[in-house]
């Protein structure tokens, strides 16, 4: 499985990137890297943070998307029947990161059931290996291998068992960024949006925040991009329409 190529930039606040990189640091040969979990509401940029921290360390990034039906073999080695009816054993992105010494991001880890997590328990402590019962092999992790887990803080996820939580330390909880950082993020990732549209958009967002609408950073970026596209197409009242279609929670009357 090849690494993921991503150039998404992370504008750091509350020193989250430094915390993540400190967890991965090894100060001696007997000092194991930690397996941090990044926790926060959806759309905060947890995966973007992990990718940016990995790039700063010049490490390849591998992402495994966790789901409620993830099986233990999905995380390690999966048998596949080829066209000539032979069985091939294909390594997951987890194993690719382990062998090549990359950084693994288990994305939305608390959507994964306990049985799948159990297969990773040896990887998360001093043993640093996984077993594949299907392929009958033990796979050790390279010294440079690192990992972290992103977790959404919402009601649609599993509670992790204690023996897994104890292996996923430290717990780095991301809070929504302040308005100044949100404006920096939009300016960086949506450079074509004009200043007047941005000013009206953030005025509306702040009014919505007073009503506890909870628009995420991802929502704000989608809003800016879509409003600009509508404006470019000479749509009447582009910001109003973008707010109606992008932001689901009720808020103040949209600007025009």
How many structural domains compose the chain? 2
Are 110 and 130 part of one and the same domain? yes
pLDDT in tens, 57-84: 999 999 999 999 999 999 999 988 877 7
Q: Residue 195: which domain range?
A: 179-246
Residue 198 lies in a domain: yes
Q: Are the CB atoms for 110 and 164 separated by under 8 Å?
A: no
Q: Are the CB atoms for 103 and 94 separated by under 8 Å?
A: no
pLDDT in tens, 105-124: 999 999 999 999 999 999 99
Residue 51 sits at the vertex; the CA angle it makes with 163 and 218, to the nearest 5 degrees, is: 95
Q: Look at residues 194, 191, 151, 195 and name the one whose alpha carbon lies nearest to residue 171.
A: 151
Are 25 and 62 part of one and the same domain? yes
Structure tokens of 248? 């689901």
pLDDT in tens, 32-64: 899 999 999 988 999 999 999 999 999 999 999
> Whole-angstrom Cα distance, residue 188 to residue 194?
12
Which SS3 state, helix, strand or coil, does residue 208 take?
A: helix
> Whole-angstrom Cα distance, residue 175 to residue 149?
17
């Amino acid at each position: 499985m090849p690494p993921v190529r991503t150039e998404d930039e992370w504008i750091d606040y509350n020193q989250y990137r430094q915390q993540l990189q400190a967890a991965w640091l090894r100060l001696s040969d007997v000092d194991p890297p930690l397996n941090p979990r990044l926790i926060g509401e959806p759309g905060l940029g947890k995966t973007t943070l992990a990718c940016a921290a990995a790039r700063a360390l010049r490490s390849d990034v591998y992402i495994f998307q966790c789901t409620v039906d993830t099986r233990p073999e999905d995380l390690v080695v999966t048998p596949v029947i080829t066209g000539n009816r032979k069985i091939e054993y294909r390594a997951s992105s987890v194993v690719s990161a382990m062998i090549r010494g990359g950084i693994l991001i288990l994305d939305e880890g608390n959507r994964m059931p306990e049985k799948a997590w159990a297969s990773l328990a040896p990887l998360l402590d001093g043993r640093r290996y996984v077993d594949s019962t299907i392929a009958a092999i033990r796979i050790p992790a390279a010294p440079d291998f690192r990992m972290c887990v992103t977790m959404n803080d919402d009601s649609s996820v599993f509670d992790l068992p204690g023996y897994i939580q104890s292996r996923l330390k430290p717990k780095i909880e991301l809070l929504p960024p302040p308005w100044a950082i949100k404006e920096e993020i939009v300016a960086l990732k949506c450079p074509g949006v004009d200043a007047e549209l941005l000013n009206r958009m953030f005025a509306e967002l702040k009014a919505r925040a007073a009503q506890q609408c909870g628009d995420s950073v991802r929502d704000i970026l989608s809003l800016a991009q879509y409003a600009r596209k509508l404006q470019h197409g000479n749509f009447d009242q582009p910001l109003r329409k973008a707010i109606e279609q992008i932001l689901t929670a009720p808020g103040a009357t949209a600007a025009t």
